[in-house]
Amino acid sequence: METLRPLQSDQERYAESFLVYWNLSRNVEAFQNWINSYFPEKIMKEIKVEKEKELMVLGVGSGPGQTECLVLKELLKQWPKIRDTVVEPDLSYINKYQDLASKKTELIDGVSFEWRQQTLQQFRQETQDQPLKKYHFIMLFHVLYFFEIEDIADIIQYLKSILQDGGMILTLIECDDDCVAQTTEKFPQFKKNPSTQDVEKALAKLQIQFVKHRITLSLDGTSCFVGETKQGELLMNFLTQTAFFKETASNSLYSDVIKHLRSIVLSESEDGKSLLRCDCDAIVITK
């Protein structure tokens, strides 16, 4: 069997591949609608914090900030003053987030940021002598993949301990049958990410109540099938969670993966795009 390098072990490659994946799956109407309508109407209203207060927000694994900025924009409609602590270990992502935040000043004016280039574990250690510092809204978007399944319960319990009464933890995580999960499940060579089921099990163990909302999304996977492009290569890295997949996989594994991806194409859109299921779950915990 070939030696494949998990994508998470190569941060630069991860960042590039994630960006391609994000643009092909989140720059779509369905996601924008979810953020602009579903989130404020069904989720945000469950945050029980007076409008006059400064909303204390914690972003964990914020990445380059595109998703969080969209959410902040909605939160600002309810709470005109927000203090956002961003915990992100990758400096290049922090730089991108700062860049985005400065360009969107008119949209997220009212948010003051505290940037912390560190992991959640480091943040936890550094702030353990500040037990009174708590947050109203904690965002944990697609970050649990970087933790061991057996640590999820501890992370959630910790985050709940720093949540204010009336506050909310919002976790976004890939659902058990999205295209990444279907691919990493099928081929034992690939690293399998924790998914919704793992979070649900951890919450059941902790006896924490939660509400789950499905976000139905599709990903334009066309570039995987149409010859050699940089975009196609990076997307294949993300779908297989493998760095340099094209360069390191055997020809037979590569063609088996392509065959598998073709078999899970949802539909060809009118403009000829091959769409793959990319649903994720929003898990909401309130206090």
Ligand X SMILES: C[S@@+](CC[C@H](N)C(=O)[O-])C[C@H]1O[C@@H](n2cnc3c(N)ncnc32)[C@H](O)[C@@H]1O
Contacts of 135 (CB under 8 A, 6+ apart): 56, 57, 58, 85, 162, 163, 164, 167
CA angle 169-42-34, nearest 5°? Answer: 90
**Which of 143, 243 has the CB closer to ligand X?**
143
Cβ contact 39:73 at 8 Å: no
Q: Does 174 bind ligand X (CB under 6 A)?
A: no
Rounded CA-CA distance 276/105 in Å is: 34
CB of 66 to ligand X, least distance (A): 6
Residue 23 engages ligand X in binding (rule: CB under 6 A) = no
Cα 162 to the center of its chain, rounded Å:
21
Distance CA 172, CA 66 (A): 14
Closer of 40 and 89 to ligand X (Cβ): 89
Given the rule CB under 6 A, which of 36-44, 56-64, 126-134, 176-184 is the region that contacts ligand X? Answer: 56-64
- Minimal distance in Å, beta carbon 64 to ligand X? 7
Stretch that binds ligand X, among 86-94, 187-195, 208-216, 253-261 (CB under 6 A): 86-94
- Cβ proximity to ligand X: between 80 and 89 the closer is 89
* CA dihedral of residues 282, 27, 147, 85 (deg, nearest 10): -80
Closer residue to ligand X in complex, CB, 63/167: 63
Residues in touch with ligand X (CB under 6 A)? 18, 60-63, 66-67, 87-90, 93, 119-121, 141-143, 146
